[in-house]
Amino acid sequence: MMKSALKSVPEVAVNRDWWRGAVIYQIYPRSYQDSNGDGIGDLKGIIQRLPYIAGLGVDAIWISPFFKSPMRDFGYDVTDYCDVDPMFGTLADFDALVAEAHRLGLKVMIDEVISHTADDHPWFKESRASRTNAKADWYVWADAKPDGSPPNNWLSIFGGSAWQWDTRRQQYYLHNFLSEQPDLNFHNREVQDALLDVTRFWLDRGVDGFRLDTINFYFHSRGLEDNPALPPEQRNDQTAPAVNPYNYQDHLYDKSQPENVGFLERFRALLDEYPAAAAVGEVGDSQRGLEVVAAYTAGEKRVHMCYSFDFLAPEKISAAKVRGVLESFGKVATDGWSCWAFSNHDVMRHASRWAAGEVDPTAYLKVVSALLMSLRGSVCLYQGEELGLTEANLAFEDLQDPYGIRFWPEFKGRDGCRTPMVWDENAANGGFSTARPWLPVPREHLAAAVSRQQGDEASLLEHYRRFLAFRSAHPAFAKGDIEFLAGDGDAVVFTRREGNEQIVCAFNLGSKPAEVDLGAGHALQPLSGHGLSGQAAKGKVRLGGYGAWFGRVA
């Protein structure tokens, strides 16, 4: 009888949907915390700071690459997908990180960089050795034109042709990024199988999901057709800086190919073998970003969510843009899901892109962060944005990023958003390391250190903690529908609805007061706990400069 009773006890339900509406905190491991005094952050350093991250109130962490690599692109050029680079630690350190994160209630997502490898990878070494070896077709190889020039006009995001001549095979190979980052050939089923084996390796170690780097670059057109020119009036700098001729082409053939959907379905099927694994894909396509996100997240057989560069581009956020992007996504992706971000390791920090010219930058950052965390979709926060860190202005001799070195000085690269996290304003190097850091710690960042802000209710850090708790208390923010209401000028107004809960969210992105008339028929009950200022009466919401108001529709 007792045995039968034990069998009838139900198992704790697994939340397979945890990713929907999750807030994910991105960690750039080189710059988070150095535990061994070599000036480079590492996995043990992340473990040391996990209580801080859990204390913010986020749901998950995303760790940028820590795999074995020659570090020409700082981990985004992999030589061994199934091992940790010694500068970051060991596999045992990673296992300890996963265990501690799970103990603290945090999911762990890692960066999968599978569109390309380093040219040091054993796969590429074998592939380039001859045209007949077992891995000869694992990368994208093509013969020269009769005049010896590259097979077509495709360009690398890092500048110049996307084709590199190889003297061993007497052929060109494709590289969408550095010439030392050859592209894998996803048309080869064996390549797909090998990459799915890599994915299983990390799932078996307990990771909860993946951020898929350059997800729309996996496949190229077999025909190797030239990309057409893009008219000047259609060029934008969402995917590459304005000084980069990459923007001169309509990238019809070198990425975002229809075959990608089949691989993503294979990838999702693997993830679905595990209790609650999820993935978010990075879509770099300036012309068709939202459409690609919609295609890749449609239904339940592809990736769970994607993000494009709509809010990561240089253009300043505005009320009209927020509404336009969200409504456009809602139309093209009726059953898809996006993950929104204002900053990451590849773009200038939004504290510099957007807030630098504001009357009160801190108040502005508070209201735009509240807006970000109120949108329909999941959210990525980049380390240091909760402190209001600005883009570091580095000297040329301090640069590490090959992208910035190539396009200096008009484009200074990505080092300015990758400088070390600042923990203690009174400690050497802001508490990041006892040694000289791999990138300098800007003096102006010390005043924004965690030690300065924590406990100060007026600080940006405490605002993030407060708002994340407020968001967590209302399920409509995580999974609810969104409907935009009338808003003039700098005012953004929408409702979030989940079940019987309907919340009106009103934001003023400007420094001058704003008023929103919702109509006398709206009976509004204000919600507290978010810490932002605003008032409502008789269907009208009054917002001070950089103010916000939240209320239930009674």
Statement to judge: residues 488 and 468 lie in one domain: no
> Number of folded domains in the chain?
2
Q: Which pLDDT does position 1 carry in this prediction?
A: 35
Catalytic residues, which ones? 213, 273
The answer to whether residue 551 scores a pLDDT higher than 80 is: yes
Q: Which pLDDT does position 524 carry in this prediction?
A: 81
Judge whether 4 lies within some domain. no
Statement to judge: residues 435 and 508 lie in one domain: no
The answer to whether residue 66 scores a pLDDT higher than 80 is: yes
Q: Which pLDDT does position 4 carry in this prediction?
A: 37
The answer to whether residue 118 scores a pLDDT higher than 90 is: yes
Three-state SS annotation for 163-199: EEEECCCCEEEECCCCCCCCEECCCCHHHHHHHHHHH
CATH number of the domain to which 452 belongs: 3.20.20.80
Q: What are phi and psi of 338, to 5 degrees?
A: -110, 165
The answer to whether residue 6 scores a pLDDT higher than 70 is: no
> Cα–Cα distance between 352 and 356 in angstroms, integer?
5
Statement to judge: residues 515 and 391 lie in one domain: no
Judge whether 382 lies within some domain. yes
Judge whether 9 lies within some domain. no
Judge whether 162 lies within some domain. no
Q: Which pLDDT does position 104 carry in this prediction?
A: 98
Statement to judge: residues 297 and 394 lie in one domain: yes
Q: Which pLDDT does position 519 carry in this prediction?
A: 77
The answer to whether residue 148 scores a pLDDT higher than 80 is: yes
The answer to whether residue 299 scores a pLDDT higher than 70 is: yes
The answer to whether residue 195 scores a pLDDT higher than 70 is: yes
Cβ-contact 18, 59 below 8 angstroms: yes
Statement to judge: residues 233 and 298 lie in one domain: yes
Judge whether 357 lies within some domain. yes
Statement to judge: residues 505 and 395 lie in one domain: no
Judge whether 138 lies within some domain. no
pLDDT band per the 50, 70, 90 thresholds, residue 88: very high
Judge whether 529 lies within some domain. yes
DSSP state of 378: E
SS3 306: strand
CATH number of the domain to which 493 belongs: 2.60.40.1180
Provide the domain limits for residue 32.
23-117+189-472
Q: Which pLDDT does position 368 carry in this prediction?
A: 98
Q: Which pLDDT does position 14 carry in this prediction?
A: 84
* pLDDT single digits (tens) 497-543: 999 899 999 999 999 999 998 876 666 889 999 999 889 888 889 99
Judge whether 3 lies within some domain. no
The answer to whether residue 171 scores a pLDDT higher than 50 is: yes
| Adjacent-strand bridge partners of 164 | 173
The answer to whether residue 47 scores a pLDDT higher than 50 is: yes
The answer to whether residue 3 scores a pLDDT higher than 50 is: no
Give the domain-ending residue among 472, 504, 524: 472
Q: Which pLDDT does position 520 carry in this prediction?
A: 63
Cβ-contact 210, 201 below 8 angstroms: no
- The percentage of the chain sitting over the pLDDT mark of 90, rounded to a whole number, equals 89
Statement to judge: residues 451 and 508 lie in one domain: no
Statement to judge: residues 459 and 511 lie in one domain: no
Statement to judge: residues 345 and 324 lie in one domain: yes
The answer to whether residue 469 scores a pLDDT higher than 80 is: yes
User: In the predicted model, what is the mean pLDDT of residues 267-294?
Assistant: 95
User: In the predicted model, what is the mean pLDDT of residues 182-207?
Assistant: 98
Give the domain-ending residue among 425, 456, 472: 472
Listed in sequence order, the DSSP H helices in 412-522 are 443-446, 450-453, 460-472, 476-479
* pLDDT single digits (tens) 425-455: 999 999 999 999 999 999 999 999 999 999 9
Statement to judge: residues 450 and 544 lie in one domain: no
User: In the predicted model, what is the mean pLDDT of residues 408-416?
Assistant: 94
Give the domain-ending residue among 438, 472, 506: 472
* pLDDT single digits (tens) 335-371: 999 999 999 999 999 999 999 999 999 999 999 999 9
Statement to judge: residues 505 and 459 lie in one domain: no
pLDDT band per the 50, 70, 90 thresholds, residue 11: very low
